[in-house]
């Protein structure tokens, strides 16, 4: 079966006859100009190199390329599979509660995720049955109509999340009503009465039972009258569990009511039991060990399975690649063609002359190089894929460990340590595979970037920083990859307390992506840490200066302190040995006393001798002064006689 996905694009083919008309007009106008220029035979001789046929060929090839391009845009599709027939089975409609209370973590990882995983395993065990999905909270809507395509069912279940419904609550009655309408065709009452005699339709309610609407029991009774069995599975515990709310960094807080009290969600088994009883089904309490779907599967297999009429299903595969390649090929040929035969011959001769004798060598070289490149590429891709799988596994182990550590308790701590150990092993294996991917291509940016991530998780920040820096400085890498590499490079430097370098890396990342809020936050954090580091360095310098001053003061009084310490040590030692050395101490005291007496006598003698010396010096000075006075008196007498004219006489001195 063949069809075009976008049939309206085919209306563009109307441009083809328009272009043909324009081309015919231009050729006719050109011919008229040539005839006006001169006689027909003369103009043909003057334009002998012009080939009108080449004009027509080039235009025809251009039109073919344009037509193929329009076909490619319309996306031709071919039916690849066709199924039609009947099979025996049961119609199963799942009513899944996606209210916020399903985010409680009394069942790991939480109620909703555990239900989704168990439901996927339940679908894998179905044989011939059809399944549909209704999600509900304060309202309900059909997420997946009844179908036998199990792959599609699992896909729709995996994308279920509480944000699909803005109105919160748990309206089980609305979910039962919508599921019933989706399962029963719009037929007359007599035909519906015949349907009520069959027991091949099931509604499975998966909820925590916090029903905010009392009509669910009555609705279950009405649904059961139409021949539909209702089973229920209760998720959670009856003791109560807070509802976690995580911020953008993954940090958990808990939902609070208007009064500021923490909201506790509890499993309401009574409501679910009453619904199952009214619907003629079974209630099962889910736990971590057993989610209860196996019990429901046994109940369904025990039912009378009726013939289900299959709807014809055709899967279409897109084939736009074929007309697109043809279009490019036609356009390329049209560009290479010339309108003059001589130029075509010249081009062919030139190509033959240039490539003659080299064609075989080039072909042989390509045959040798291409397989080697393909083998190398396959090996690198295989290594990096394996490394990515191991890194993803390690990240999951690390996430689980962090969640267990946040809960506290010795058991959780022990389990968290085990998971962190497994995460470390997977990080190391991922590192090995990333290095294998770069054995031949050392600048393989993706492998180098992933290698940096694995080293970062192993807290080998310096090596991780080198890997990120290499990717960031590689201009041939994509802008997004370089931005992420600069961001992670800054994180590695931040872990090494190289705050200035980390700030520079974050700035480079913001140049590539100015809107990255995570990088902006890290940049401000690095600036704050750098200021704290500078303040700490200043404080340390001040403390060092004070210590130097104190050391100098201690050195000045150090000698005295050392002597004092020696005396104290001697006194202490003498005190310790006092009982043993009393006699010796007494003798020493006597000797010291005698020494003191001798010293006093010696001092007295020295004092007496000093006094005698001073007296003798004074007497000598007085005698010298008297002699000098006599000499002066005698000299005066002689001078007086000479002035009077007397004879000179000999004077004898009396000293």
Mean pLDDT of 549-559: 68
Mean pLDDT of 77-87: 62
d(CA 615, CA 194): 159
At residue 578, the 3 state secondary structure works out as coil
Query: Which of 95, 204, 108 shows the shortest CA–CA distance to 140?
Result: 95
- 463-469, long-range: CB < 8 A, 24+ apart: 464/488, 464/492, 465/489, 465/492, 465/493, 465/496, 468/492
Q: Range with the lowest mean pLDDT among 15-24, 286-295, 634-643?
A: 634-643
Strand partners, 3: 77
Q: Tell me what pLDDT residue 230 has.
A: 94
Q: Tell me what pLDDT residue 22 has.
A: 92
Q: Which band of pLDDT confidence, cut at 50, 70 and 90, is reported for residue 413?
A: confident
Q: Range with the lowest mean pLDDT among 72-81, 162-171, 191-200, 300-309?
A: 191-200
- Tokens 């580091």, located at residue: 533
Strand partners, 232: 205, 283
* Tokens representing residue 384 in the block: 């990096």
Burial string for 351-389 (b: 16+ CB within 10 Å, else e) reads eeeeeeeeeeeeeeeeeeeeeeeeeeeeebeebbebbbe
The pLDDT mean for the chain works out to 76
Q: Tell me what pLDDT residue 647 has.
A: 42
Q: Tell me what pLDDT residue 17 has.
A: 92
**How many CA atoms lie within 13 Å of 507's alpha carbon, on the beta-carbon side?**
8
Burial string for 279-296 (b: 16+ CB within 10 Å, else e) reads bbbbbbbbeeeebbbebb
Q: Tell me what pLDDT residue 191 has.
A: 42
Q: Report how far apart, in Å, the C-alpha atoms of 365 and of each of 43, 79, 161, 376, 438 are.
A: 51, 42, 56, 17, 25
Question: Is the pLDDT higher at 34 or at 459?
Answer: 459
Q: Report how far apart, in Å, the C-alpha atoms of 519 and of each of 21, 512, 516 are.
A: 60, 11, 6
Q: Tell me what pLDDT residue 441 has.
A: 66
Pairing of strands 91-97, 130-136: parallel
Q: Tell me what pLDDT residue 596 has.
A: 63
Strand partners, 308: 87
Q: Tell me what pLDDT residue 445 has.
A: 78
Does residue 581 surpass a pLDDT of 70?
A: no
Q: How does pLDDT run across 365-393, given as a tens digit for each residue? A: 444 444 433 334 566 777 788 888 888 89
d(CA 320, CA 5): 10
Q: Range with the lowest mean pLDDT among 126-130, 408-412, 439-443?
A: 439-443
Q: How does pLDDT run across 489-533, given as a tens digit for each residue? A: 889 898 888 888 889 988 888 888 888 888 888 888 888 888 888
Q: Report how far apart, in Å, the C-alpha atoms of 259 and of each of 104, 110, 169 are.
A: 20, 26, 19
Strand partners, 91: 130, 201
User: In this prediction, what percent of the chain has a pLDDT beyond 90?
Assistant: 9
Q: How does pLDDT run across 156-192, given as a tens digit for each residue? A: 898 888 888 878 788 888 899 999 988 876 544 444 4
| Ordered domains of the chain (ranges, CATH) | 2-82+320-346 (no CATH), 86-311 (3.40.50.410), 374-533 (1.25.40.10)
* Tokens representing residue 129 in the block: 């049955």
Say if residues 627 and 655 touch (Cβ distance below 8 Å). Answer: yes
d(CA 350, CA 333): 18
Q: Provide the 10 A C-beta neighbour count for residue 492.
A: 25
Query: Which of 210, 197, 185 shows the shortest CA–CA distance to 275?
Result: 210
Most confident of 99-113, 403-417, 431-445: 99-113
């Amino acid at each position: 079966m063949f069809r075009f996905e976008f049939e309206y694009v085919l209306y563009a083919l109307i441009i083809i006859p328009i272009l043909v008309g324009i081309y015919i007009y231009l050729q006719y106008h050109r011919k008229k100009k040539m005839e006006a220029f001169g006689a027909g035979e003369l103009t043909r001789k003057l334009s002998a190199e012009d080939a009108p046929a080449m004009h027509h060929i080039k235009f025809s090839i251009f039109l073919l390329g344009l037509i193929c391009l329009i076909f490619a845009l319309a996306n031709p599709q071919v039916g690849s599979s066709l199924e039609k027939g009947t099979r025996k089975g049961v119609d199963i409609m799942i009513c899944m509660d996606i209210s916020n209370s399903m985010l409680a973590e009394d069942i790991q990882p939480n109620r909703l995720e555990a239900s989704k995983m168990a439901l996927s395993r339940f679908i894998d065990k179905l044989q011939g049955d059809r399944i549909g999905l209704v999600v509900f909270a304060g309202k309900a809507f059909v997420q997946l109509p009844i179908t036998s395509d199990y792959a599609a069912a699992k896909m729709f279940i995996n994308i279920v999340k509480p944000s699909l419904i803005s109105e919160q609550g748990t309206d089980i009655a609305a979910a039962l009503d919508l599921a019933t309408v989706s399962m029963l065709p719009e037929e007359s009452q007599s035909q519906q009465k015949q349907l009520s005699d069959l027991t091949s339709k099931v509604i499975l309610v998966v909820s925590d039972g916090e029903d905010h609407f009392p009509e669910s029991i009555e609705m279950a009774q009405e649904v059961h009258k139409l021949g539909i069995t209702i089973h229920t599975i209760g998720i959670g515990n009856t003791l109560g569990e807070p509802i976690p709310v995580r911020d953008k960094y993954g940090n958990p807080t808990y939902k609070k009511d208007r009064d500021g009290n923490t909201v506790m969600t509890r499993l309401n088994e009574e409501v679910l039991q009453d619904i199952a009883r009214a619907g003629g089904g079974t209630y099962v309490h889910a736990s971590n060990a057993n989610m209860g779907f196996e019990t429901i599967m046994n109940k369904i297999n025990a039912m009378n399975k009726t013939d289900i009429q299959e709807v014809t299903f055709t899967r279409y595969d897109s084939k736009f690649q074929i007309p697109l390649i043809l279009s490019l090929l036609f356009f390329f040929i049209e560009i290479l063609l010339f309108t003059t035969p001589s130029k075509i011959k010249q081009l062919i001769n030139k190509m033959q002359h240039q490539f003659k004798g080299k064609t075989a060598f080039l072909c042989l070289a390509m045959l040798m190089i291409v397989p080697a490149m393909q083998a190398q590429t396959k090996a690198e891709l295989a290594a990096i894929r394996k490394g990515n799988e191991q890194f993803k596994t390690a990240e999951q182990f690390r996430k689980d460990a962090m969640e267990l550590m946040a809960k506290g308790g010795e058991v959780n701590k022990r389990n968290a340590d085990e998971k962190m150990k497994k995460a470390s092993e997977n990080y190391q294996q991922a590192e090995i595979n990333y290095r294998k991917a770069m054995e031949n291509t050392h600048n393989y940016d993706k492998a180098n970037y992933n290698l940096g991530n694995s080293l970062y998780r192993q807290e080998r920040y310096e090596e991780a920083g080198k890997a990120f820096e290499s990717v960031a400085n590689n201009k041939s890498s994509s802008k997004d990859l370089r931005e992420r590499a600069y961001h992670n490079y800054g994180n590695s430097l931040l872990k090494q307390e190289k705050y200035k370098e980390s700030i520079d890396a974050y700035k480079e990342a913001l140049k590539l992506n100015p809107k990255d809020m995570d990088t902006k936050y890290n940049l401000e954090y690095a600036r704050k840490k750098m200021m704290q580091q500078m303040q700490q360095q200043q404080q340390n310098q001040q403390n060092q200066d004070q210590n130097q001053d104190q050391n100098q003061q201690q050195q000045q009084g150090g000698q005295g302190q050392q002597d004092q310490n020696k005396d104290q040590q001697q006194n202490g030692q003498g005190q310790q040995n006092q009982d043993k050395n009393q006699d010796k101490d007494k003798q020493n005291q006597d000797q010291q006393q005698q020494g003191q007496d001798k010293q006093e006598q010696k001092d007295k003698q020295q004092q007496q001798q000093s006094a005698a010396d001073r007296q003798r010096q004074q007497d000598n000075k007085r005698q010298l002064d008297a002699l000098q006075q006599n000499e002066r008196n005698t000299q005066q007498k002689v001078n007086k006689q000479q002035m009077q004219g007397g004879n000179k006489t000999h004077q004898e001195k009396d000293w």
